[in-house]
Amino acid sequence: MRSYLLDAVAAGLSKCDPGKVRTVLADSFVATLAITENEGELEQFASKDHRPDQATMQTFFNHLETKQRLQEVILTQLLSVDEFKFDSLLSQAEPMVRGELSSAKVSRAITAKRFDRALELLNRIGPEEEFPYQEATQLMLELPPEREADKQEVFRLAMAKGSESRLTGGDDFAGMIVRFWRHVPPAIALEAVHQVLDSAERRAGSGVTLNATSGNAGFTSEYDYRLFELWPVLKELDDQEADKLLKDSQQAQLQLKQFPNGIQSVDSSIGDTPAKEGEAERGLQMSFGRPNQTGQDLERSEARVKEIGRMAEDNPRQAIAAAATLPESVPFGFIDGNEFFPRAQAYVAIARAVMKKNPSAARDALEEMATTLKNAAHPYHALEHWGEGITIAKEMGEADLAVKLFRSGMEQVDKLRAEDTDSDNPNLALKAWWPSVSAYWWLVKAAAQFSPRTALEQVRAIKDPEIVAVLEVKLADNGLGARAEESITMVSKARTPGNSWSEFRAPEK
């Protein structure tokens, strides 16, 4: 907690006392070293004779992940203010963190157009470190045409480091092949395609679903997805081999009929040149696991919510009645407790649509939203609706309603905190990352838009000094306009390890 708070304080200092930032960040990093767990101990878990019990392992991995995440966040900030100090501390970080931040240094060099420096850093990537495919891809995109030989060097480096893929939609080795296969000798490109396909076949990974504005595509295995992704390249390089492999994959055949150029038909931004300024991205997203009935229910609910939002523009009362027929929640994903709230989302859509021309109906819609969310079993996933409702009430000039929604939402989060502090099975994650603390912050930040004093008073009513400290520092940072941190939410339950999970959201712009 000391490390976390020092990092948060450094954010505020960047606005009011920049000279102290590097010292506070260094102190924050040093505080992580008090977490004794380290990656070097992982080998003991491979030995059955010395393997600890489940509870001990859960605690170890929880502490190690906390240490890694804190170090990554702190050193990323330090890199932006003092690269020399960053280098002096990086050697003390966990190996995984060193690998991640080596990627950050490459990215920094590319942004500064220091391409030789970026190449040098890529060549330094150690055999135990994960190769930064995303940064390597960016370098190849940025290198001018006269440096074609350097593009080939980067491709060979990536190929030599292995083809284990992260399935990130164009930012892994397979994505590099799709983008740049024409920039390397055909024999090298063909070898790279087979390297990825062979690796995917050996792993026999889970299914993949692509979601994009151009359409969706589902695959029950990673191999079928990789064949779909790389088949157009293979077709150009070895026509007979491409047709032979496709005969054995009905899923790839089916999806290639809809998307004949593979992944580039789904997302045309995956190419060998940088996106032009102002060019809209098509927003490719991936999910894992086989499409199921729950996913179909979710799609139907989302379509109905949009329909009700359009209905509200002409007949808000009819739209409010229609929203009441939607389910309060629909489960989604593979984590117990993940919920989508179509009824609440519809009420928010109605309020947003009519807030100016029919404020009475907008107010009623927001009241209904609050009522339906009181029944949410997992209020963490309803936060966006509470925050949006508070913002709409503020924009309408309905301060009393905004305060009412804020306090009602805080009451729901109090229930969530009871799960985190359950004496029989508490959340062992860093308290600042508890779902309840993340939920408090969402609501407090929304309330601070119309009344910082009300937000602060509600924070100080929480009977936990550590949570109060976290929220007070975040409120101060927010008021100063300091950098927004990556939002980390984590559950680590010793008695129900299957329900442990982590969620990371990029900083809000």
Is 82 a domain residue?
Answer: no
Q: Range with the lowest mean pLDDT among 129-133, 140-144, 305-309, 328-332?
A: 328-332
Is 420 a domain residue?
Answer: yes
Give the pLDDT confidence score for residue 275 in this predicted structure.
73
Do 254 and 312 share a structural domain? Answer: no
Domain edge (last residue) among 290, 318, 345: 290
* pLDDT range class, residue 205, cuts 50, 70, 90: low
Is 390 a domain residue?
Answer: yes
The answer on pLDDT for 497 being more than 90 is no
Do 440 and 373 share a structural domain? Answer: yes
Give the mean pLDDT of 46-67.
79
The answer to whether 431 and 467 have CB atoms below 8 angstroms apart is: yes
The answer on pLDDT for 165 being more than 60 is no
Do 311 and 265 share a structural domain? Answer: no
Which DSSP state fits 146?
G
351-397 pLDDT per residue, tens: 999 999 999 999 999 999 999 998 777 777 788 899 999 999 999 99
The answer on pLDDT for 320 being more than 70 is yes
Q: Which of 161-175, 402-416, 491-505 has the highest mean pLDDT?
A: 402-416
For residue 12, what are its two tokens?
């505020």
Do 371 and 248 share a structural domain? Answer: no
Do 482 and 423 share a structural domain? Answer: yes
Is 353 a domain residue?
Answer: yes
The Cβ-side half-sphere exposure at 432, using a 13 Å CA radius, reads 21
**Distance from C-alpha of 288 to C-alpha of 381, rounded to nearest angstrom:** 20
**Distance from C-alpha of 152 to C-alpha of 148, rounded to nearest angstrom:** 7
Give the mean pLDDT of 250-269.
89
Do 325 and 257 share a structural domain? Answer: no
Do 266 and 338 share a structural domain? Answer: no
Do 264 and 299 share a structural domain? Answer: no
**Distance from C-alpha of 35 to C-alpha of 21, rounded to nearest angstrom:** 23
Domain edge (last residue) among 258, 290, 322: 290
Is 368 a domain residue?
Answer: yes
Do 438 and 383 share a structural domain? Answer: yes
Do 476 and 337 share a structural domain? Answer: yes
The answer on pLDDT for 506 being more than 60 is no
What mean pLDDT is reported for the chain? 86
The answer on pLDDT for 334 being more than 50 is no
**Distance from C-alpha of 99 to C-alpha of 127, rounded to nearest angstrom:** 10
217 strand-pairing partners: 210
Domain of 193, in residue numbers: 162-271+283-290
Q: What letter represents residue 57's amino acid?
A: M
Do 205 and 317 share a structural domain? Answer: no
pTM, two decimals, is: 0.74
Is 58 a domain residue?
Answer: no
Q: What b-and-e string marks burial along 328-357, b requiring 16 or more CB atoms within 10 Å of the CB?
A: ebbbbbebeebbbbbbbbbbbbbbbbbbee
Give the number of other Cβ atoms within 10 Å of residue 234's Cβ.
Answer: 24
Is 201 a domain residue?
Answer: yes
Give the pLDDT confidence score for residue 100 in this predicted structure.
82
Give the mean pLDDT of 191-220.
80
The answer on pLDDT for 283 being more than 60 is no
Give the pLDDT confidence score for residue 30 in this predicted structure.
97
Is 119 a domain residue?
Answer: no
Greater model confidence, 54 or 32: 32
**Distance from C-alpha of 489 to C-alpha of 436, rounded to nearest angstrom:** 9
Do 295 and 228 share a structural domain? Answer: no
**Distance from C-alpha of 27 to C-alpha of 274, rounded to nearest angstrom:** 39
**Distance from C-alpha of 7 to C-alpha of 82, rounded to nearest angstrom:** 15
Q: How many domains does the chain have?
A: 2
Domain edge (last residue) among 261, 290, 319: 290
**Distance from C-alpha of 129 to C-alpha of 135, rounded to nearest angstrom:** 14
The answer to whether 58 and 429 have CB atoms below 8 angstroms apart is: no
Give the pLDDT confidence score for residue 61 in this predicted structure.
86
Give the mean pLDDT of 51-58.
76
